[in-house]
Structure 1
Amino acid sequence: MGRFELNQSDRCRIDAARHELVNAQQLDMSDDRAMARTIGRLEVALQQLLEMFGEGGEQP
């Protein structure tokens, strides 16, 4: 993959993904609802990062 320049929106998405990852690492694993919310947020963050890199439309 070639290098490309990140715009402000891209940087915000990356920061948001990092924030969600930190939150997931501090999660109380005994709280099922919090785990479900966190998994959903991580899924959205990952989808946005894949879209940013031009691979958002591909499904496994």
Structure 2
Amino acid sequence: MNSTPPRHDPRPVEPERPLPVDCCDGGCAVCVFDSYAQDMDHYRELLAQWKARHPEAD
């Protein structure tokens, strides 16, 4: 089994945090900060997987 990472395997990009003014304070079912939290969870998962493929990056 080949454990060499793929040639084109860029590091995941952290999502941009919304600004306080991006929230309308309207009690939305899904606030921009909720979406950001989900995006960050997904980013952390992708980053952990990427780091496992690129142990030299730490």
Q: Normalising by structure 2, what TM-score?
A: 0.51
Higher percent of residues as helix: 1
User: Which of 1 and 2 has higher RCO (CA within 8 Å, sep 6+)?
Assistant: 2
Match of 1:37 among 19, 35, 38: 35
The offset of 1:42, in angstroms, is 1.0
Q: 2:47 matched to which residue of 1?
A: 49
The offset of 1:29, in angstroms, is 3.1
Q: Residues 6 and 28 (structure 1 numbering): CA distance in 2 closer, same or farther, change over 3 Å?
A: same
Return the alpha-carbon distance in structure 2 between the equivalents of residues 53 and 40 of structure 1: 20
**Paired positions, count:** 42
- RMSD over aligned CA atoms reads 2.6
Indicate the percent of aligned positions where both proteins have the same amino acid.
Answer: 10
Q: Normalising by structure 1, what TM-score?
A: 0.50
Runs in 1 of length 4+ with deviation above 4 angstroms? Answer: none
Deviation sequence 1:10-44 (CA, Å, 0-9, x none): 31x42xx23x1xx21xx133627100000100110
Question: Unaligned regions of 5+ residues in structure 2, if any?
Answer: 26-30, 53-58
